[in-house]
């Protein structure tokens, strides 16, 4: 099954490798018997449907979750059920890809206008005058 993350970015469920491992945390005796934590492994470099720019940025954003061979490993153990942990790791992967796809807005550097510079200087002069009036004058 394919899931559209963004226009032009498709995540194929066949590329996801999800295994279940024992999780620590709440769950009572059940935590020692049932593998509820989900571990998602997504080979980003071999994935189809993800542009090269997004792949490189996603690997950079993944940090320590990225392996040397270009796979991203996300472990989810927030919830007590396998299904919710599975949905959680998939959602976190999608969020990582969306973050990688985001392009910051292009900003054109501008300089302050003449009136803005004058207002700044007038404000500085006003503050200097206030501080000057606070000084104790010695009449010699």
Residues of the domain holding 24:
2-101
Look up the pTM and report it. 0.68
Alpha carbon distance 101, 74 (integer Å): 19
Whether the per-residue pLDDT at 129 is higher than 90: the answer is yes
Let me know if residue 88 belongs to a domain: yes
Let me know if residue 32 belongs to a domain: yes
Per the structure, the count of domains in the chain is 1
Of the candidates 77, 76, 73, 66, the one whose C-alpha atom is nearest the C-alpha of residue 16 is 73
Mean pLDDT of 21-40: 76
pLDDT in tens, 63-72: 888 888 888 8
CATH classification of the domain holding 59 = 3.30.160.20
Average pLDDT, the chain: 85
Alpha carbon distance 38, 12 (integer Å): 18
Let me know if residue 106 belongs to a domain: no
Answer with the residue of higher pLDDT: 60 or 140.
60
Let me know if residue 140 belongs to a domain: no
Q: What is the pLDDT of residue 28?
A: 67
């Amino acid at each position: 099954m394919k899931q559209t993350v963004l226009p032009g970015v498709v995540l194929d469920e066949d590329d996801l490798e999800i295994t279940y491992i024992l999780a620590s945390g709440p769950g009572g005796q059940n935590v020692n018997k049932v593998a509820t934590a989900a571990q998602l492994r997504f080979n980003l470099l071999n994935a189809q449907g993800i542009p090269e720019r997004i792949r490189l940025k996603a690997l950079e954003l993944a940090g320590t979750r990225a392996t040397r061979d270009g796979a991203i490993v996300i472990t989810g153990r927030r919830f007590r059920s396998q299904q919710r942990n599975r949905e959680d790791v998939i959602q976190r992967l999608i969020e990582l890809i969306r973050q990688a796809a985001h392009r910051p807005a292009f900003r054109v550097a501008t300089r302050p206008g003449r009136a803005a510079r004058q207002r700044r200087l007038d404000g500085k002069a006003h503050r200097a005058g206030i501080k000057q009036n606070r000084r104790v004058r010695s009449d010699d």
